[in-house]
Amino acid sequence: MRRCQACDVDYTGHIERCPLCQSDLVGEAVPGVLPRQIPMLKPRKLLIETLMFATIVCIVAIVFFAYLFQWPWADVIAALISFCIMMMLVTNTVAHSVRPLRLFFRLPFFVVLASLVWLLFTPNSIITEFVLPITSLASFAYDVVILIILRDKAIDRYFKYLIFDIILAGLMTIMIPLGWTPWHLLVLINTAVAIIMLFSLIIFAHRQIADNMHRQFSA
């Protein structure tokens, strides 16, 4: 049995230092009285590992069927990357126990990212004319609902998401002079909504915005 001479305490089990004072133990180690416990995987960790395994299986299956049925590889690559992006969202949600309200704030950004991947590999005006602006408009609608329900708390808790939505809508406007949106009515509507949202926050919540800006960017 090991003994700590400083604390005058005896220990069983294979430990080298005293848990109380961190002094070296003397004497021979003897087995502990309690059986050795096998650590079990936590449910959350097990779920994350299951999701990762399912993701790999799905990727292999998609590649297999793409080769078997001669699917266009540009579409396949875009689908794989988009699928991985959405699985990143799911895994992050599980790993960090993201609450539903915050999850729905993040979801549009992942949808936009996946849409941009599709746009890169399969240039299609449907993405720029409909998918991106509709996603942004849906995000603004969600912002308004949360602002109405939570009011001041919404700005304090989700300030950065509100700002990101406005910035994203502004960036989408650049697609018009670039010629990426032959029919750009929804993009213009999205831009108008972003401007209204921005000035609404400035007029009705300028103090909270100033406080949150200071909190976000101060060291």
12 shares a domain with 89: no
Residue 107 resides in a domain? no
Distance CA(184)–CA(180), nearest Å, equals 9
205 shares a domain with 166: yes
Predicted TM-score (pTM) of the model is 0.74
218 shares a domain with 123: yes
17 shares a domain with 52: no
pLDDT tens for the 219 residues of the chain, in order: 788 887 888 888 777 778 777 778 888 877 766 655 444 456 778 888 899 999 999 999 999 999 999 999 999 999 999 999 999 999 888 888 788 899 999 999 999 999 999 999 988 899 999 999 999 999 999 999 999 999 888 988 898 899 999 999 999 999 999 999 999 999 999 999 999 999 999 999 888 888 888 877 765
Distance CA(92)–CA(61), nearest Å, equals 23
Distance CA(54)–CA(43), nearest Å, equals 16
pLDDT of residue 45: 81
Q: Give the chain's domain count.
A: 3
Structural domain containing residue 76: 43-98
